[in-house]
Structure 1
Amino acid sequence: MSAALKLARPDDLDRLMSLVTAFHAEEGIEQDADQRRDALLPLLEGIPHGCIYLIGPGRAPLGYIVLTFGWSVEFGGMDGFVDEIYIRPAIRGRGIATEVLHNLPKALSHAGLTALHLEVDRANETAQKLYLRTGFKPRDKYMLMSKVL
């Protein structure tokens, strides 16, 4: 299996929608198809706030990763957030996510990103082990907090 990455474009929307729908169902994220499409399309059309990569073959992707970008004074410049990463259940455990999370940050640092962040369910020990193994570390003094607007 290859964790080759392909920058997703608008013509990838249908393939991506099925993957995102599967991930959201697995995670209990409630969002209708129109909301999901409206959230994905600007990223596929090239807005500067983020991007989506398909993992594996473009015609039959194994998964996807969504990155969003921001600015951090603390980290000294542009930073990124892994908003979602998903690998099809049938092929998990083969090192694909590990490869993506090892290689993509290297490429992003060469593009000027100074830090990459993510959040993980406190009860998801499998994902926590993956993230620790790929260099992500919990921040002892901080926790992510959100306010829906």
Structure 2
Amino acid sequence: MSAALTLAKPEHLDKLVTLCAAFHEEGGITQTDEARRAALSPLLDGSPYGAIYLIGPARAPIGYLVICFGWSVEFGGLDAILDELYVRPGVRGRGIATESLIALPRALAEGGLRAVHLEVDRENAAAIKLYKRAGFAPRENYMFMSRKL
């Protein structure tokens, strides 16, 4: 099984909605397929705000990741938030997520990306271990905060 990454395109929307629904169900995120389609479509249509990558073969992806772009004075330019990462349960534990988390930032750095951030549940030891293995580290005295608008 390969963690080959393919930039997702509009024709991948149905596959992505299915993967995203599985990820949301696992994480307890309540959202309709219509809302998922509305959130994913602009990124598939070339929005400058982010991108979606399929993990594995594009015809039958085994996962996906969503990265959203921003700007950071602190980090010296273009940065990104890894918004979602999902690998199907049946193929987990094979290093696919780790390989993806190492390959994508490396590729984006060539385009000028300075930092990638992510949010993780403090109780999810497996995810924390995965992210640390891929080179992510908690920032002391900082926590991710949100305000829904």
Instruction: With the length of structure 2 as denominator, give the TM-score of the two structures.
Output: 0.99
Structure 2 CA distance for aligned equivalents of residues 58 and 122 of structure 1? 32
The answer to whether the aligner puts 1:105 opposite 2:114 as a matched pair is: no
Please give the alpha-carbon distance, in whole angstroms, between the structure 1 residues aligned to 2:106 and 2:45.
Answer: 24
* Alignment: residue pair count: 149
Tell me the CA shift for residue 103 of structure 1.
Answer: 1.1
The equivalent of 1:37 in structure 2 is 37
Q: Partners in 1 of 2:80 and 2:107 — Cα distance? A: 12
Equivalent position of 1:94 in the other structure = 94
Which runs of 5 or more residues in structure 1 are unaligned? none
Report the Cα offset of residue 33 of structure 1.
Answer: 1.2
Shift in Å at residue 34 of structure 1? Answer: 1.0
Structure 2 CA distance, aligned partners of 1:2 and 1:30? 30
Q: CA RMSD in A?
A: 0.5
| Whole-angstrom distance in 2 between the partners of 1:63 and 1:88 | 6
| Displacement of 1:143 | 0.2
Runs of 4+ residues deviating >3 angstroms: none
The corresponding residue for 1:48 is: 48
The aligned counterpart of 1:79 is 79
Cα offset, 1:104, TM superposition: 1.0
Q: Specify the SS of the correspondent of 1:70.
A: strand
> Structure 2 counterpart of 1:115, which letter?
A
Question: Matches of 2:35 and 2:101 in 1, distance apart?
Answer: 27
Query: Structure 2 stretches of 5 or more lacking a match?
Result: none
